[in-house]
Amino acid sequence: MVTTANPPAAPAPGAKVNLIGLEKNDYKGNPSTLCQGCGHDSISAQIMAVAYELSLPPHRIIKMSGIGCSSKSPAYFLNRSHGFNALHGRMPSVVTGATTVNSDLVALAVSGDGDTGSIGLGQYKHLLRRNVPMVYIIENNGVYGLTKGQFSATADMGQKLKYAGTNELPPIDLCMEALIAGCGFIARSFAGDAKQVRELLKAAFNYKGTAVLDIISPCVTFNNHEDSTKSYTYGKAHEERLHDITFVPKFEEINVDYEPGTMINVKLHDGPTIQLHKLGEDYDPTDRTAAMRRLEEAEAQQEFMTGLIYINEGRPTLGEVQHMVSTPLVQLSPERVRPSREALVRMMTDLS
Amino acid sequence: MVTTANPPAAPAPGAKVNLIGLEKNDYKGNPSTLCQGCGHDSISAQIMAVAYELSLPPHRIIKMSGIGCSSKSPAYFLNRSHGFNALHGRMPSVVTGATTVNSDLVALAVSGDGDTGSIGLGQYKHLLRRNVPMVYIIENNGVYGLTKGQFSATADMGQKLKYAGTNELPPIDLCMEALIAGCGFIARSFAGDAKQVRELLKAAFNYKGTAVLDIISPCVTFNNHEDSTKSYTYGKAHEERLHDITFVPKFEEINVDYEPGTMINVKLHDGPTIQLHKLGEDYDPTDRTAAMRRLEEAEAQQEFMTGLIYINEGRPTLGEVQHMVSTPLVQLSPERVRPSREALVRMMTDLS
Amino acid sequence: MVSTVDVATRPQAAPDRAQPDNVNDFALVAATVNGSGSQTANATLLRALFKMGIPVTGKNLFPSNISGLPTWYTIRVSKDGYTARREKTEILIAFNPATAEADLAAMPTGGVCIYRNDIRFAARRDDVIYCALPAKEMAKASGADPKLLDYMANMVYVGAVAELLGIELDEIKAALLFHFKGKAKAVGLNYGVVEAAAAYTRENMKEHVPFHVERMNGTAGRLLIDGNSAAALGAVFGGVTFGAWYPITPSTSVFDALTEYLGYLRRDEATGEATYAIVQSEDELAAIGMVLGAGWAGARAMTATSGPGISLMTEFAGMGFFAEIPAVIWDIMRMGPSTGLPTRVSQGDVLPVYYLGHGDTRQVCLLPGSVAECFRFGWEAFDLAERLQTPVFVLSDLDLGMNFWMTAPFEYPDKPMDRGKVLDAEELRAAGEFARYRDVDGDGITYRTLPGNSAPGAAYFTRGTGHNERAVYSERPEDWEQNLARLFKKHDTARGLVPAPVVDQHPGARVGLIAYGSVDPTIVETRDRLRTTGLETSYMRLRALPLNDTVHDFIAAHDVVYVVELNFDGQMRQLLQLHCPEHAAQIRSIAHCDGLPLTARFVTEAILEQEKKGHRNGHNG
Amino acid sequence: MVSTVDVATRPQAAPDRAQPDNVNDFALVAATVNGSGSQTANATLLRALFKMGIPVTGKNLFPSNISGLPTWYTIRVSKDGYTARREKTEILIAFNPATAEADLAAMPTGGVCIYRNDIRFAARRDDVIYCALPAKEMAKASGADPKLLDYMANMVYVGAVAELLGIELDEIKAALLFHFKGKAKAVGLNYGVVEAAAAYTRENMKEHVPFHVERMNGTAGRLLIDGNSAAALGAVFGGVTFGAWYPITPSTSVFDALTEYLGYLRRDEATGEATYAIVQSEDELAAIGMVLGAGWAGARAMTATSGPGISLMTEFAGMGFFAEIPAVIWDIMRMGPSTGLPTRVSQGDVLPVYYLGHGDTRQVCLLPGSVAECFRFGWEAFDLAERLQTPVFVLSDLDLGMNFWMTAPFEYPDKPMDRGKVLDAEELRAAGEFARYRDVDGDGITYRTLPGNSAPGAAYFTRGTGHNERAVYSERPEDWEQNLARLFKKHDTARGLVPAPVVDQHPGARVGLIAYGSVDPTIVETRDRLRTTGLETSYMRLRALPLNDTVHDFIAAHDVVYVVELNFDGQMRQLLQLHCPEHAAQIRSIAHCDGLPLTARFVTEAILEQEKKGHRNGHNG
Ligand SMILES: Cc1ncc(C[n+]2csc(CCOP(=O)(O)OP(=O)(O)O)c2C)c(N)n1
Ligand SMILES: Cc1ncc(C[n+]2csc(CCOP(=O)(O)OP(=O)(O)O)c2C)c(N)n1
Ligand code: SF4
Ligand code: SF4
Ligand SMILES: [Mg+2]
Ligand SMILES: [Mg+2]
C-alpha cells in the first residue's frame, strides 16, 4: 500500500490538499484529444479522483499502455507520473520488466479490448499467470476505435457495425480469461457508473497482485448505437450490479454495523477493507467456482453484470517468487551488483 | 467426413488393404529421430493406425505443426500427405489459411505444450474462436524437449527439473482454455493409453470444427521421473477415465444394447456415433457447464482425468461463416476469379 | 459581415489590377477540424474542378486521432498538370479557430483568406484579401439536423470558394450527386447551403479576387481514385481468393476497398456465394501466417499492412523466402521508426523490407509510382509471387495510397494469370519423378505440388529448416550451400522478371535522377524547373527490387546521379551503391523525411546546391 | 581382436619409419551418437591435452536432435597454437556404425582409425592404420549400471587414445575429477574403464602409430571456457540485475550459465536473497519487452537469443532505438534464414540486426572475437547501452559460444560502471529544467530520469510515436526531422564510443584482410599461410558497428581488401562498401556459409585465386 509513502509537502495556502499535501490539480494530465463523450475520458476522470483521494504519490506511479484510443489516455491524467506508451498488445511484458526491477513503483495500466483481447491475448494471459503487481484496466468498447471501427475480439456475436458489417464470432470474455489464468482480482464495471469504477479502482490499488478491471467504455463514434451492448444506453438500461461496493481505507474505523448477511467484508493484505453490500443475490466473490459459474450464466443470458467478480490474495506475486532482496533492484549500489576482483579471481581458478 | 472420398484402388494381390485399397505401409512415415520411448512416437503410431482404419486418403490430409520434438513428428507418419512444419507457436495461422482456401483438405496438426501453451497461446485461442476445421493434437509433456528440459506453461506448480529447478507458476490447462474459447470438441488422453487415443482420434477426424486432443506424452529424457505428473509411471498409476469410448463409423450397425443409463451415444453431423460407456461417474460431455466444473475439480484435486470432456457440433466453422461457393477456392477456374473486361470498364465508369 | 480592405490600406504587395489574374495555377488549403465532415466539402470541390477539365490533386494532412484535431486539405490546380505537393497555398479556408492564426501567418502575400466570421485574428495581416463567412448561421438556416451543423458549416465554404474562383455550381451539384450516390434529400440539403453561401458571397464580397478557374480540357477521359482502392481493384482482377489482415493506418483502406469490390465483382451470380475469403486476424503475425498457409495450398493470397506490421511479419517473411511460398504483402509506408507518425508519409521501409528476415534473405519488392501502377501491381504481384514462389512486397505509401490522384482508366490485365511451376497429378504421373527443390530448369525456380495432389510422390514436407532437394531435413554442408546458392540464383532470375525501370535518358545530360514511388510527380516538375535553370537531366524511375543491369548503364552514362527519396537514411541510394560498387562514389543522396511529400522546389534547390559545391556523398555506412 | 596390417600389405603411402612422428600437430575426430554421453569422453581428452601444456581446441558438430543421431567432436592439437577448424583429421574414432563407412572414407592416407570392434567396414582401406576396441565388452566388464553402458563404452576410446598418443593417464584422471566435481565413485568407475582400455590397447596394438603428443608449455596460466559462459560471467560482473529469455539453440547456455553464476556471486551473504531477477518469458517478443521495461526503469537488463528470436524482436528493437531505451541483446548466431540449422554456425545476422526495425533505424552491435571478448563485452555492453540509451546487440555465434576455447584469465572491468546521463531528483532540482529529448551536450545523447524520481518535472511520457524535445506527441515536421537527425548524430557519437577495430598493419602490404567474430583464428592462420606463399597482408578485426574512420584509413592504405565472413551475402562487405563508397570497388568479398567454421586452407585458397584473376567483386546489390 502506498498512500502514506511520502512526507506531506507544505500545502499551498488555502488550497484543498490530500494526505501528502497535493491538490487535485497535481493529478491532472494534458487535455484529452479523444472524442467528446468517449467512455475512456470518464474513466480517466475517476483515475484522477481516486489517485487524489488515496493520496498516491504521483512519482511512484507508472502509467503503462499499449496502442489505441484507450492506450492514449494515460497522457490525459497524472502528468507527474512517468508514462510508457508501448507497442500494440505488448504492454504486459514492459510492465513485467519495470515492476520487477523496482518494487516501489505502482503500475497503472490502461489497455483496450483490441490491445488486450486481440493482438495482446498471449501476453495478457502470461502476465496474469505470473501475477505481476499492477492495476490492469481494460477500456472495453468492442471495437478498434483508433483504426475506425472494426470488430475487436470482445464484440458480441451478431453485432452490426457501419463499416465492419456483422460479427459472426463469439466474444472473448476477458474476465473469464483472467479467472482461469489464476488472476486474484477480477472486476467488471461500466464507464457510466462512476462510483463503482472509483470504489473498484481504490480496491485494485490496494491489491497486491494483478488487479483486472474490465470496464465497458462506450466508443461514441463507432459503437454507441442503441442495439450495441457496448453503448451508453444499453449499459444504463441493463447494468446488473452484483453488489454495492465501498472501499474502506485501513485508517478508517468501520463502526456502522449491518444486519448479518447483508454485507461481506473482504480484508486486504495490509489493512483496508472492501465492503460488499448485498443487492439482489447472494454472491461471494471469494469463491472461484461460483465466480466461474456466474460468468458463464451472465454470458449465456447476455447479462451485463458488474462488480467485484473474484478476489483472492492467496497467490504469490512474480516479485515474491523471485526471492529478491527487499531493496528494489534499481536502487542497489554498484558494490552490490558488481562482484569483487577477488570473486573473479576465484571463478577463474575454479574454471582452470 | 472423408473416409469414402476416393474410389477404391486395386489392392496389391494378397496384401491386407482398407476401404480405399491402401495398405498399412501407405500410412508410414520416415523413421523417427526422437528419443527411444518418447511419448510422441506412440501417438504417431496411433495416428497411422487410425488413418488406415478410417481409410483416410493420405493425399487429402495435411500434416501441420510448429517447432519442437512434437512438431517434428509429422515427418514420421503419413509420408503420402503434404506437411508444413511452420514456425514456433504459429501453426494455427497457417492451418487457418490452408483449410479456408481448400475445404477438401483434412488438417491434422501436432503441436507441443510449449508450442501451443507458451509462445503460441494467442494463436491457439484465436484459432479456437474461429472454429477452424482441423484435428489439433497437443503432445503435452510439461517441458520444452527440443531445447533440453525447461519448464513449459503446462508444467505443474512445484514441479522440479534437473536443470530448470522448481516451477513456481501455476499450469495452463489447455482443455479449459479451449472450452472457454468456444471449442466444441475437447478431449484429454495419455500416450500410454493407446486404445483411448485411437478412439478419440477417430471421433476427432469425424468432427466438423476444431477438435482438440490434449495428450499427456511423457518426455523420457527430461521429464519422466516418478514424481513428475507427466511421466509414464504417474500416468499409468493415476489416469482416471471419464468413460470408455468407442467410435462407431456410420456404416456399422449398433445392435448390441446396453442397460439404460450405462451408455451415452453422441451422433456426429454425418452419421457416425461416439459411444461413451459409463464407468465410475455420470458424466455428460455435451453439458458445457458440467465440463467446466469437472475440469476445475480435476485441477484442484490434481486428478489426471482423461476422455471426451466436451462435445458440441453446434457452432459454425470458419468456412461456414465465410459463405463461400461449395467448390474449394483453389479449384476455381480463372474465369471465376478474374472478372471480365466489361466488369472493369463498368467499374471505371462508375468511378469517373 | 465582410472585410473590405479599403484603398488606403491596400497592401503594396497586393496584385496590381493591371496584372492578369492567376488562372488555373494555384493551390488552396482548407484548415478544419477532423471528424467535422469536411472531407465531403473538400471532395466536392476537388471533383467539381476535375470535372471542369482542370488538372487537380488533393492531399489530406490529418492527425492520428478520431475527432477534434486540426486537419489541412490542400487542393492544387495546375493547368500544366503538375500533381506534386506545392508549399505555397494562395487561398486559405480558415475554418479551424485553433490554427487560424498560424494558418494566416503562413499565407503568401496577395493571398485570399476565407474564414468563419466567428474567428478573431489577433495579428491581422494587411497584405491579404479577406472573406468572412457567417458559417454557423447559414448552417442553422439550412434547417439540417443539429447533429449535422458542423458538417453543413463546411458546405458554406464550398459555396464561397465556388463563387470566388468561378467553379461552376452545376459541377458542384454533380459532385454532390456522385458523393451521395444520388440520394436526392442529402444532395438537396447540401446544395442548398452551397447556393446560399455562393449568393451571400456574391453580394457581400466586393473585393476583387485575383485567382480564378476556367474550364479547360486537361482531364478528359480520366478519373480520380486513391492508390489503396486501385490496389484492391487490381487484386480483384488478379484473382485474389484469400485475404487476411489486421487494421493499421494507412493500409486499412486497402482491405476496406477489397471487401467492397469483391462483394460487387466476385460473388456467384446464381447463389451470391463468395469466390473468396477475407479474415480479420488477431495481429499481423497471424495475418501473414494465414496468407502463407493459403499460398502454400495454392491460393492467391494477400495481406496489407504498414511499418509496425512489417516488423511483426519478419519471422514469417524469412520463412516465406526460404520455404519458397508465394504471398503478396502490401506495405503502405508511413513514418517510422517504431509507431512513428501513423498519418504521415515516408519511404522508410525499402531497406528493411528488402532484407526482411534474419540470416541471408532478399525479398522481392514492387514500387508503384502511380495509382495506375497500384492497379497493375495489384494483379501482377500475384503472377510474380507464384512464378518466383516467394513473398512479393508491394511498397506503396500514405500519399499514394490515401490521396486522390488523376488517372486514365485502368487497363485490363494484358496477360493470362501465371500460376507458376505447379505440377498437377497428371503432369506429375507423366513426369514420374519429383523433387520439390531440384533446379530442373536452371533458373533457380523449382517445381511444386499442391496439397490434395493424388499422384504418388506428390507429397513433400515444407519447412523453415535446412533441407535437401527432396525437402528432407539435412545438415549436410553441401545441401545447405547448394540450396542457398539456388535461392540467390532465383533472386537473379527475379531481376529479369520484375518490372524494369522507366528511363527517360536526355542525350548528353551530365546529371541523372533516380527516384521511385510517390516521388515521381515531384521529379517530373523538378526536371522542368531544372531545365529552366539550364540543367538538363535524365530520369530513371525504379519500379522494383532486385535491381537489374539497366541501372548500371544509366549510372555509367552520367557523371553523377541523385537518388531522391522520402526517408532519412537514403535507403535506395544504399542499395544502388551496393548494386554498383564501381560507381558508388558518384551516387548522391537527396533524402528528406519530415512527414510531408517532397516538393519540386525543395528537390530543385537541393540538387542545385549539391551541383554548386559538387560535394560528394560522404560516409553513410 | 586387432587389425595388424602386415608388411606385405602395408600401404606405400603409409609414413615411412625414417620419417619422424607427427608430434602435437594433428587433429582427431570422435564420431559418436548424440545422447550417448560422449561429451564427457571428449571433454576429458581435451582437458588432459590442455593440461599437458598443448594448445587445443574442441569443436562439437552436433545434430538438432536430442538423442540417436550422429555427432562429431573434433580436437585439434597444435604446437603452434592454431585454434581454427582444420579439414584434415588424421585420427578417427569410429564409434557410430551409422557413419563409420563415410568417416573412414574421409580419412587422410596414413591416418589412424580407432573403432568399435562390432563395426564392419564394407570398403576397408589399406592406407590407414586400424585399432579395434571391444568397447561393449569392456563397458559391461566395468560393472556399471546398465543404463550407463553406452556412456562407459565411450570411456574406452579415451583409454585407447591416451595410450596410442601418449596422453598422461594422470591428466586423464585429473580431468575426470574436474568433470565430476571430485565425486570419487564416478571418477573411479570411469577411470577404471580408461585404464583397462589403455592396458588392452598396449597389449593388442602392435602397429606403430606415427602421431603422438608431448608435454609442452603452450597453455600455462590459461583456461578453457565456452563463449556463452564467458558472456554470462561478463554480464554478472557488469552488474546485470534483470534477465528475460526464451530458450533457443545456441543461446540457451548463456542463460543457463547466467543463472548459475548469479546464484554463486549475486546473493546477499546475510539473507541469501537475490540481487537480480531472471524471468523465462513466453516468447522472444515478451523477453525483449520485459528487458526494455526494466531498462527504462533503470535496471541493467539483458536477453539472449538467436535468429528466429531476433526476427520476433524486430518491432521492439525499433522502439528501443527510437524511444532510446538501454538494453543488451545477445544474438548467438546460427544458420539462417528461417529456422535454418539450429546447430550450425553462421554470421548471417549482421546486416539484418544493424538495420533491425522498420523505418530508418541503425542498431549498435558488438562483435566479440574471442571468449575473452565475450566476457569483456558481457559487462561493457551495459556501459554502452546506458551511455547511448539504446539497445546494444552483441553478435556472437555458435562456434564461439558453444565450443571450448583457450584463454588467459579474464580481466576485471578496468572502469567503473557508466550509468549514462541519468538525472536523479537532486540533480534535477538543481538543473531546474528538464526536456527528455533535448540535445544539451551536442552529442545527440540526451538526459533521462527514472520512474520514481520525486523532483517536480521529472516525469515524461515514453512513446514509439513522433515526439518533441519534451517527449510530447508531435506531428510537426520540424520536430520529427530534428529528432531523427539527433538520433543519427547519436549514432555518429557511437562510432567513437564502441570498441575500435584491432589493426595489424603490415608495412607496404598491398592486401588487407577484414574479418570479425569467430573467424579471427582462421585469419591468424591464413596470414601465416599466405606469408609462406610470399603474400604479406594487413589485418583489421572489426569489433563493433557502427564503423568508424579507422576503417577508411585501413582500406585506403591497401590496393584491395578481402572481407572474410561466415555468411552467404557478404553482409559486412556490404556495410563496408556503404561506409566507404569511394573505395567500394576495391572491397572484395570472401563469404562462405555451409554450417562449418571457416578453415585457413579455404580462405587462403580463395584469396590466392582472387589474387590470380584479380577479379572484382561484381554486382551484389
Ligand atoms: C502492430 C500494430 N498493428 C496495428 C496497429 C494499428 N492499431 C492502432 S490502435 C489499434 C486497435 C485499438 O483497439 P483497442 O485496443 O480496442 O483500443 P480503442 O481504440 O478501441 O480504445 C490498431 C489495430 C498498430 N498500432 N500496431
Ligand atoms: C521463435 C523461436 N523461439 C525459440 C525456438 C527454440 N525452440 C524450439 S522447440 C522449443 C520448445 C518446444 O517445446 P514443446 O512445444 O513443448 O515441444 P516438445 O519438444 O516438448 O515436444 C523452443 C523454445 C524456436 N525454434 N523458435
Ligand atoms: S473513436 Fe471511439 S474510442 Fe476512440 S476516442 Fe473516439 S469515442 Fe473514444
Ligand atoms: S527430448 Fe523428450 S520430447 Fe524430445 S524426443 Fe526426447 S523424449 Fe521426446
Ligand atoms: Mg476498443
Ligand atoms: Mg513439450
Indicate the pLDDT class of residue C54, thresholds 50, 70 and 90.
Answer: very high
d(CA D331, CA D288): 12
DSSP for C457-516 reads T---EEESB-B-TTS-B---HHHHHHHHHHHHHHHHHHHHHSPPPEEEPPTT-SEEEEEE
Question: Helix/strand/coil (H, E, C) string of A126-168?
Answer: HHHHHCCCEEEEEEECCEECCCCCEECCCCCCCCEECCCEECC
pLDDT digits over C261-294, tens only? 999 999 999 999 999 999 999 999 999 999 999 9
pLDDT of residue A11: 54
Task: From residue D568, give the alpha-carbon distance in Å to each of C486, C580, C621, D581.
Answer: 12, 19, 20, 21
pLDDT of residue B268: 92
Minimum distance, in Å, between the CA of residue C311 and any CA atom of chain D: 5
Task: From residue D547, give the alpha-carbon distance in Å to each of A294, C333, C619, D326, D354.
Answer: 62, 29, 10, 20, 11
d(CA D227, CA D375): 8
pLDDT digits over D334-364, tens only? 999 999 999 999 999 999 999 999 999 999 9
From the CA of A116, which ligand is nearest? 1
pLDDT digits over A290-334, tens only? 999 999 999 999 899 999 999 999 999 999 999 999 999 999 999
Angle, CA of C393, C398 and C403, to the nearest 5°: 125
Average pLDDT over residues B271-279: 93
Indicate the pLDDT class of residue B253, thresholds 50, 70 and 90.
Answer: low
Inter-chain CB proximity C282 and A144 less than 8 Å = no
Average pLDDT over residues C463-489: 97
Counts of helices then strands in chain B (DSSP H, E): 12, 15
Among B5-9, B201-205, D40-44, D242-246, the minimum mean pLDDT is found in: B5-9
Residues of A in contact with D321 (CB under 8 A): none
Average pLDDT over residues D537-544: 98
pLDDT of residue A259: 77
Given a cut of 80, is residue B82 above it in pLDDT? Answer: yes
Average pLDDT over residues B198-205: 98
Residues of B with CB under 8 A from a CB of D: 33-36, 67, 69, 87-89, 118-119, 121, 144-148, 150-151, 153, 163, 221
Residues of D in contact with B153 (CB under 8 A): 282
pLDDT digits over B288-321, tens only? 999 999 999 999 998 999 999 999 999 999 999 9
Given a cut of 60, is residue C14 above it in pLDDT? Answer: no
Q: Name the residue with higher pLDDT: D548 or A252.
A: D548
Kindly list the strands in the beta sheet with D223-226, ordered across the sheet, starting from the edge strand earlier in the chain.
D129-133, D112-116, D91-94, D25-33, D70-78, D56-61, D404-407, D223-226
Angle, CA of D529, D534 and D539, to the nearest 5°: 60
- The reply to whether ligand 2 has any atom less than 6 angstroms from the CB of D437 is no
DSSP for C199-242 reads HHHHHH--S--SEE----SSSTT-EEEEHHHHHHHHHHHTT--E
Percentages helix, strand, coil for chain A (3-state, rounded to 5) are: 35, 20, 45
Q: Which residue from A192, A188, A158 is spatially nearest to A173, judged by alpha carbons? A: A188
Burial pattern B202-239, b for ≥16 Cβ within 10 A else e, equals bbbbbbbbbbbbbbbbbbbbbbbeeebbbbbebbeeeb
Task: From residue D118, give the alpha-carbon distance in Å to each of D90, D100, D130, D152, D542.
Answer: 22, 11, 14, 16, 50
pLDDT of residue B227: 84
Indicate the pLDDT class of residue C16, thresholds 50, 70 and 90.
Answer: low
Minimum distance, in Å, between the CA of residue D445 and any CA atom of chain B: 36
Average pLDDT over residues C109-124: 94
Average pLDDT over residues A240-247: 96
d(CA D58, CA D42): 8
Given a cut of 60, is residue C324 above it in pLDDT? Answer: yes
pLDDT digits over B24-54, tens only? 999 999 999 999 999 999 999 999 999 999 9
Query: Are the beta carbons of D303 and D287 closer than 8 angstroms?
Result: yes
d(CA C484, CA D74): 26
Indicate the pLDDT class of residue C19, thresholds 50, 70 and 90.
Answer: confident
Chosen for mutation from C240, C259, C296, C325 (greatest number of chain B CBs closer than 10 Å) is C296
Query: Are the beta carbons of D22 and D210 closer than 8 angstroms?
Result: yes
Q: Name the residue with higher pLDDT: B280 or A266.
A: A266
Task: Classify strands A263-267 and A273-278 as parallel, antiparallel or unpaired.
Answer: antiparallel
- The reply to whether ligand 2 has any atom less than 6 angstroms from the CB of B41 is no
* Neighbours, chain D (3 or more CB pairs < 8 A): A, B, C
Average pLDDT over residues D229-249: 98
Task: From residue D345, give the alpha-carbon distance in Å to each of D70, D398, D543.
Answer: 17, 5, 19
Query: Are the beta carbons of B211 and B134 closer than 8 angstroms?
Result: yes
- The reply to whether ligand 4 has any atom less than 6 angstroms from the CB of B69 is yes
Inter-chain CB proximity C271 and B325 less than 8 Å = yes
Ligand 1 centroid to residue C274 C-alpha, Å: 28
Q: Which residue from D295, D262, D255 is spatially nearest to D462, judged by alpha carbons? A: D295
Indicate the pLDDT class of residue D13, thresholds 50, 70 and 90.
Answer: very low
Indicate the pLDDT class of residue C35, thresholds 50, 70 and 90.
Answer: confident
Residues of C in contact with D581 (CB under 8 A): 577, 584-585, 587, 617, 619-620
Residue A7: exposure state from Cβ atoms within 10 A (0-12, 13-18, ≥19): exposed
pLDDT of residue A15: 81
Residue C195: exposure state from Cβ atoms within 10 A (0-12, 13-18, ≥19): middle
- The reply to whether ligand 1 has any atom less than 6 angstroms from the CB of A53 is no
| Cross-strand bridge partners of residue D542 | D516
Given a cut of 50, is residue A282 above it in pLDDT? Answer: yes
DSSP for B243-300 reads EEEEEE-TTS-------TTSEEEEE-TTS-EEEEEE-SS---TT-HHHHHHHHHHHHH
What is the percent of chain D where pLDDT is above 90?
A: 92
pLDDT of residue A5: 38
Task: Classify strands C537-542 and C461-463 as parallel, antiparallel or unpaired.
Answer: unpaired
Indicate the pLDDT class of residue B269, thresholds 50, 70 and 90.
Answer: confident
pLDDT of residue B164: 81
d(CA A227, CA A53): 36
pLDDT digits over D466-503, tens only? 999 999 999 999 999 999 999 999 999 999 999 999 99
Question: Phi and psi (nearest 5°) for D466?
Answer: -60, 140
pLDDT of residue C617: 44
For the CA atoms of chain D, what is the radius of gyration?
27
Given a cut of 70, is residue D7 above it in pLDDT? Answer: no
Q: Is A275 left (phi over 0), alpha (psi -120 to 50) or beta?
A: beta
Ligand 2 centroid to residue D402 C-alpha, Å: 19
Share the mean pLDDT of chain B: 93
Counts of helices then strands in chain D (DSSP H, E): 20, 24
Given a cut of 80, is residue D159 above it in pLDDT? Answer: yes
pLDDT of residue C93: 98
Average pLDDT over residues B1-20: 62
pLDDT of residue D70: 94
pLDDT digits over B143-182, tens only? 999 999 999 999 999 988 887 889 999 999 999 999 999 9
d(CA C493, CA C443): 6
Given a cut of 80, is residue B185 above it in pLDDT? Answer: yes
Among B273-282, C88-97, C307-316, C537-546, the minimum mean pLDDT is found in: B273-282
Q: Which residue from C249, C407, C279, C257 is spatially nearest to C339, judged by alpha carbons? A: C249
Minimum distance, in Å, between the CA of residue C227 and any CA atom of chain D: 21
pLDDT of residue A46: 98
Name every residue whose Cβ is closer than 8 Å to that of residue A13 and which is 6 or more positions away in sequence: none
Task: Establish whether the linkage from the previous residue to C20 is cis, with ω within 30° of 0.
Answer: no
Q: Which residue from A327, A289, A281 is spatially nearest to A307, judged by alpha carbons? A: A281
- The reply to whether ligand 1 has any atom less than 6 angstroms from the CB of C304 is no
Given a cut of 50, is residue D12 above it in pLDDT? Answer: no
Given a cut of 90, is residue C238 above it in pLDDT? Answer: yes
Share the mean pLDDT of chain D: 94
- The reply to whether ligand 4 has any atom less than 6 angstroms from the CB of B149 is no
Query: Are the beta carbons of B169 and B257 closer than 8 angstroms?
Result: no
For D364, other C-beta atoms within 10 Å of its C-beta total 25
What dihedral angle (degrees, nearest 10) is formed by the CA atoms of A170, A174, A180, A182? 170
CB half-sphere exposure, C457, CA atoms < 13 A:
13
H-state helical runs in D91-226: 97-105, 135-141, 149-165, 169-179, 184-204
pLDDT of residue A226: 86
Question: Helix/strand/coil (H, E, C) string of C427-465?
Answer: HHHHHCCCCCCCCCCCCCCCCECCCCCCCCCCCCEEECE
Residue A75: exposure state from Cβ atoms within 10 A (0-12, 13-18, ≥19): buried
Indicate the pLDDT class of residue A10, thresholds 50, 70 and 90.
Answer: low
CB half-sphere exposure, B252, CA atoms < 13 A:
13
Query: Three cell numbers at D497?
Result: 564510443
Q: Which residue from C412, C340, C416, C345 is spatially nearest to C382, judged by alpha carbons? A: C416
pLDDT of residue D281: 98
pLDDT of residue D6: 35
Inter-chain CB proximity A97 and D283 less than 8 Å = no
d(CA B117, CA B119): 6
pLDDT of residue B352: 86
Task: Establish whether the linkage from the previous residue to D337 is cis, with ω within 30° of 0.
Answer: yes
Q: Which residue from D346, D373, D248 is spatially nearest to D304, judged by alpha carbons? A: D248
pLDDT of residue C13: 46
pLDDT of residue A163: 77
